[in-house]
Structure 1
């Protein structure tokens, strides 16, 4: 079906959405994207997957949270709480459209966002689909801030450490990182968010797809530890390793057919 673009009225501003409807839907997904340039790098692949899921009967709503993509606002004004509210609004809209249980689909930081939403609203969502989930917001932020470290170094500008950047952000400064303005509120929230603390994720089916260098390798040890904890919380976690280009890291568009095929296979039943 032809996807339908529209704006959903959010708590902080209009949220751009792209809706992939399904005939006689049996389920529906709200998609939460990764941060900054990772979002743009993955758009085409995500749209391909949404079409395939819609063909299987799962309507998909792809959203740009406030301050990102085509949505209103600036990233510097975005907060984790606004993004959580955006996800809940999108899920409510999708419920009205499909009258089916709503699931959440997250890529990279978007996966961590879905976890935080479900952690605050347990039993509200049907299942989770995670692509290459970020396990720890603090570690992710450190890696992201290192892009600014490299930028300053390559241009012979005064150097900064990630700790110094955190101090500036905590004091209310806005920092440009890889072409995006990052605000302190979002940075501080990332420092306090990780999957291991999402203890309210209980009795929930999860499909976890993670990139590996070759087909004989399992998902990363850090991921296996989180998966074990989630299983202790009575979640049914299905970890699936895939190979191919890590599209969220690439500056040039590429295809990841195995990721699409494995995801589609998981829901084609």
Structure 2
């Protein structure tokens, strides 16, 4: 466990099938409680790669008066179960338990914070509960496209093409997924999940082709930009009445980098957006 997590309380939350491993960052003593935040992790190895960044951010939120709960969903991380038996509904049930657990702390308004696939899960969860706001880090826009990204890494994109529903467990990124889960993810579309609460959208851009040119632009103060697909989606949400603050930032994809990375610009922007002091 890294230093940023040392002050967090580890525990297991009882569920219908086994237990879920959780880390709770209690609000800093002496700081007025401002609310509670439920973090929703990304898929597969991205969960582990992002733990350092999430721990740093959670600690800063706690120092600003927020209680932050991290939960490993069924079949993920240190929780009970196997991913091959997981389903989207089980994950939503896990989050509902965590949501109620935070409500019992009586800290004030509750927020949902999701990373990558966890952001799509947060959007879906927000249709069932009433968060004060959504904090979305590098949200996946389409479940099908997101799984295809993993599939391409193992030269198996055909598993998640537009073919008929999967009839047997499929392997992706070294993990076996049940048909029910892969099919549910394939059907997810952020465009159909317009949020009814304010959104803080954080998105990193990083070198894709000409690394030297991109780094020079960042060093020279060139402003980062949202991906075209993200801009279109946010415009659609806004036209439907959603309140979205978008923060395009320079930074490496810490959720998939070879080494455990820290993106200070993302921490600073997240802190500023919610009114916390920079880490």
Q: Which moved more, 1:39-48 or 1:22-31?
A: 22-31
- Give the corresponding residue for 1:113: 121
Matching of residue 128 in structure 1 with residue 134 in structure 2 = yes
* RMSD (CA atoms): 1.9
Quote the Cα distance in structure 1 between the aligned partners of 2:176 and 2:190. 25
Quote the Cα distance in structure 2 between the aligned partners of 1:163 and 1:10. 30
Given that 1:11 and 1:85 are in contact with CA atoms closer than 8 Å, whether structure 2 keeps it comes out as: no
Matching of residue 76 in structure 1 with residue 109 in structure 2 = no
1:164 is displaced (CA, Å) by 7.3
1:166 is displaced (CA, Å) by 6.0
The alignment's TM-score, normalised by the length of structure 1, stands at 0.88
Per the alignment, in what secondary structure is the counterpart of residue 50 of structure 1? helix
- Of the candidates 239, 246, 250, which is equivalent to residue 257 of structure 2? 250
- Give the corresponding residue for 1:162: 159
Q: Structure 1: which 5+ runs fail to align?
A: 151-159
1:218 is displaced (CA, Å) by 1.5
- Of the candidates 141, 145, 151, which is equivalent to residue 151 of structure 2? 145
| Larger helix proportion of the pair | 1
Deviations 1:193-223 (Å, cap 9, x if unpaired)? 1111114x22x11100001234523211111
Per the alignment, in what secondary structure is the counterpart of residue 83 of structure 1? helix
Per the alignment, in what secondary structure is the counterpart of residue 69 of structure 1? coil
- Give the corresponding residue for 2:215: none
- Give the corresponding residue for 1:157: none
Given that 1:18 and 1:62 are in contact with CA atoms closer than 8 Å, whether structure 2 keeps it comes out as: yes
Quote the Cα distance in structure 1 between the aligned partners of 2:150 and 2:162. 11
Aligned length: 254
1:52 is displaced (CA, Å) by 0.4
Per the alignment, in what secondary structure is the counterpart of residue 55 of structure 2? helix
Quote the Cα distance in structure 2 between the aligned partners of 1:267 and 1:161. 41
1:21 is displaced (CA, Å) by 0.5
1:256 is displaced (CA, Å) by 0.8
Per the alignment, in what secondary structure is the counterpart of residue 186 of structure 1? helix
Segments ≥4 residues shifted beyond 4 Å: 163-167
1:165 is displaced (CA, Å) by 10
Per the alignment, in what secondary structure is the counterpart of residue 2 of structure 1? coil
Given that 1:134 and 1:140 are in contact with CA atoms closer than 8 Å, whether structure 2 keeps it comes out as: yes
Per the alignment, in what secondary structure is the counterpart of residue 170 of structure 1? coil
Q: 1:1-269, aligned counterparts within 5 Å?
A: 2-22=7-27, 23=29, 24-121=32-129, 124-149=130-155, 161-162=158-159, 170-171=166-167, 173-199=168-194, 201-202=195-196, 204-213=197-206, 214=218, 215-268=222-275
Q: Structure 2: which 5+ runs fail to align?
A: 1-5, 207-217
Given that 2:138 and 2:204 are in contact with CA atoms closer than 8 Å, whether structure 1 keeps it comes out as: yes
Given that 1:28 and 1:101 are in contact with CA atoms closer than 8 Å, whether structure 2 keeps it comes out as: yes
Given that 2:75 and 2:81 are in contact with CA atoms closer than 8 Å, whether structure 1 keeps it comes out as: yes
The alignment's TM-score, normalised by the length of structure 2, stands at 0.85
